[in-house]
């Protein structure tokens, strides 16, 4: 019997994947020209809000990424969560947004519309990673998910850089690229002479900043777009997908005349020359990996929480010389 378990499970999952959403109690959908918004009863307000601008965002991003799919983009709104975020999924390709009030300003301190920003970010993933470029263009008979074949060859900063750029460039205000807090996450190591390499920017780190794929990617895509035009991203992506086995650098060099490492160094030099380096001031705390937050002035001095990958979360008191 055990040998039949996996085939039975596969048939069951295929049945579920082809079940019309209308047959599932409590779920609804709104079709716009380019999207299909799927939501539960309690998220009707967010669904109507998203439907009002979904096609406008789609038009801007599809022109930027030079990919305009004919089918509607599935956008799934999920409630009953304490974590506000979103993600792109393959097999089948869809955008999923977890709907609740965000607990922080991780999408940018000046972001005015959180739902629009996270939708822009995830729709960028969808349009970027479903583009029929490279061998996938000739293998469409294998199904729409064939475009995922390019993903394993992409650096993390290329995947997340374009989304971090788009959430900033295609919004009137906000996005991480418009956030001083986000900028300080690369300006601090840059001013200390401890900046990570482009290769290290391709994967996450246990130590701060753990989100360096977003930081590296934004620096790269923003610099490329300003210096070589917004069309440079789609052009590089097409050349890369045609033969992805040697990474992005050869494609970047074909378009810009410079290697990926050189472009990264140019972007860092530009930030350094802008004069946004750390100014000389009194020492707030010793140089140590970790995050400081929730400061409160007390009778014994400044008190706050310190979260470290080596020491855990501690309640600490800060002295004038940086000691705790």
Which of 1-15, 144-158, 193-207, 219-233 has the least mean pLDDT? 1-15
Task: Answer yes or no: are the C-beta atoms of 217 and 186 closer than 8 Å.
Answer: no
Has residue 174 got a pLDDT over 90? no
The residues facing 73 across adjacent strands are 35
Per-residue confidence band for 303, with pLDDT thresholds at 50, 70 and 90: confident
Q: What is the pLDDT of residue 62?
A: 96
Rounded CA separation 317/117 (Å): 37
Task: For 100-137, write each residue's pLDDT tens digit.
Answer: 877 777 777 778 888 999 999 999 999 999 887 777 66
Q: What is the mean pLDDT of residues 260-276?
A: 88
Per-residue confidence band for 285, with pLDDT thresholds at 50, 70 and 90: low
Has residue 2 got a pLDDT over 60? no
Best CATH choice for the domain 16-273 from the list 2.40.128, 1.10.390, 2.40.50, 3.40.50: 1.10.390
Q: What is the pLDDT of residue 307?
A: 84
Please give the residue that has the higher pLDDT: either 309 or 196: 196
Sign of the C-alpha dihedral computed for residues 127, 130, 136 and 139 taken in this order:
negative
Task: For 15-72, write each residue's pLDDT tens digit.
Answer: 555 544 444 457 999 999 999 999 999 999 999 999 999 999 999 999 999 999 989 9
Mean pLDDT of the chain: 84
Q: What is the pLDDT of residue 279?
A: 46
Q: Where are the domains of the chain?
A: 16-273, 283-324
């Amino acid at each position: 019997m055990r040998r039949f378990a996996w085939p039975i499970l596969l048939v069951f999952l295929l049945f579920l994947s082809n079940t019309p959403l209308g047959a599932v109690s409590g779920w609804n959908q709104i079709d716009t020209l380019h999207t299909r918004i799927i939501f539960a009863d309690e998220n009707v307000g967010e669904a109507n809000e998203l439907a009002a601008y979904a096609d406008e965002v789609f038009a801007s991003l599809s022109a930027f990424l030079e990919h305009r799919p004919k089918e509607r983009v599935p956008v799934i709104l999920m409630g009953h969560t304490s974590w506000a975020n979103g993600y792109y999924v393959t097999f089948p390709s869809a955008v999923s947004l977890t709907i609740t009030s965000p607990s922080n300003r991780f999408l940018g301190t000046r972001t005015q519309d959180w739902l629009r920003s996270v939708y822009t970010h995830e729709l960028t993933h969808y349009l970027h990673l479903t583009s029929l470029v490279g061998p996938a263009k000739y293998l469409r008979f294998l199904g729409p998910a064939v475009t995922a074949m390019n993903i394993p060859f992409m650096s993390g900063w290329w995947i997340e850089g374009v989304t971090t750029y788009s959430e900033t460039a295609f919004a009137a205000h906000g996005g991480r690229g418009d956030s001083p807090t986000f900028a300080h996450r690369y300006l601090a190591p840059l001013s200390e002479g401890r900046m990570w390499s482009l290769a290290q920017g391709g994967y996450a780190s246990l130590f701060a900043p753990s989100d360096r794929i977003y930081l590296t990617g934004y620096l790269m895509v923003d610099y490329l777009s300003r210096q070589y035009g917004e069309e440079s991203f789609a052009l590089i992506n097409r050349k890369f997908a045609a033969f992805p086995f040697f990474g992005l650098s050869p494609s970047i060099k074909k378009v810009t005349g410079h290697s990926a490492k050189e472009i990264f160094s140019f972007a860092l030099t530009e930030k350094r020359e802008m004069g946004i380096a750390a100014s000389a001031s009194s020492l707030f705390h010793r140089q140590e990996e970790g995050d400081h937050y929730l400061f409160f002035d007390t009778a014994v001095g400044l008190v706050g929480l310190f979260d470290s990958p080596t020491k855990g979360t501690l309640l600490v008191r800060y002295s004038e010389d940086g000691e705790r």
